Amino acid sequence: MTRILVVEDEPGIALGLEDDLRLEGYDVELAGDGNAASRLARTGSFDLILLDVMLPGKDGFEVCRELRRAGLKTPILMLTAKAREAEKVLGLELGADDYVTKPFGTRELRARIKALLRRAAEGPQSAVFHFGDLEVDFARGEVRRDGQAIELTPIEFRLLDTFVRARGRVLSREQLIDAAWGPDTFTSARIVDNHIASLRRKLGDDAADPHYLKNVRGLGYRFDG
């Protein structure tokens, strides 16, 4: 049975999550503060950790950092406040695998949990990702076609890297700005679009009917590779 550790101090939310995840067939354990979370998670007996940021004692960031430093590989899904864009980025930098913003819908949460569990089952992200006749070499920060490097700007590479890691998921322009430019950068949606257009050209993707970098109207972009 798939075991999920739910770390959340607000009883209403914690119990709601517990009920919902049990209905989905998961085995759920609750932790109400950072210290308990850290202790339970280290037993290594969970397949996924749902980690709230605002917690008594240690906050979610600290727990996340500690667990990664201790070498724990369990996927971590952070629950962040919608108003705090910077939290998402910090969480990911500290080793969280994904985040959902509060308030979240149960459907969204279930989908994220499934995606993370699937990814974990597939094993670690390999150093090279292949799609079409292209390959992204994360270690060397390079994209190649038939062994020939394609010149990407650092922003374009970071965009592609973000897309590949979140493949199949829609990313808003804000998320892309956070990931490629940095959380406190002022970058307009238009600039994001321009960089994506340029990235598409370099990848040989057709702007009129893109195969990889798809525009999702009103939401952002999705990478299908």
Q: Which of 9, 47, 66, 87 binds Ca ion (CB under 5 A)?
A: 9
Determine if 87 is a binding residue for Ca ion (CB under 5 A): no
Backbone angles phi, psi at 145, to 5 degrees: -125, 125
**In the complex, least distance from residue 191 CB atom to Ca ion, rounded to whole angstroms:** 35
CA distances for 178 relative to 28, 142, 171, 175, angstroms? 32, 21, 11, 5
Instruction: Check if the beta carbon of residue 177 is closer than 8 Å to that of residue 225.
Output: no
Residue nearest Ca ion by beta-carbon distance: 54
Judged by beta carbon, residue 52 or residue 87, the one nearer Ca ion is: 52
Question: What number of residues does the chain have?
Answer: 225
- Minimum CB separation from Ca ion for residue 39, in Å? 18
Q: CA 14, CA 19: separation in Å to the nearest integer?
A: 9
Number of residues this chain uses to bind Ca ion (CB under 5 A): 3
In angstroms, how far is CA 75 from the centroid of its own chain? 10
Site mask for Ca ion (CB under 5 A), range 20-59, x = bound: --------------------------------x-x-----
Binding site for Ca ion (CB under 5 A): 9, 52, 54
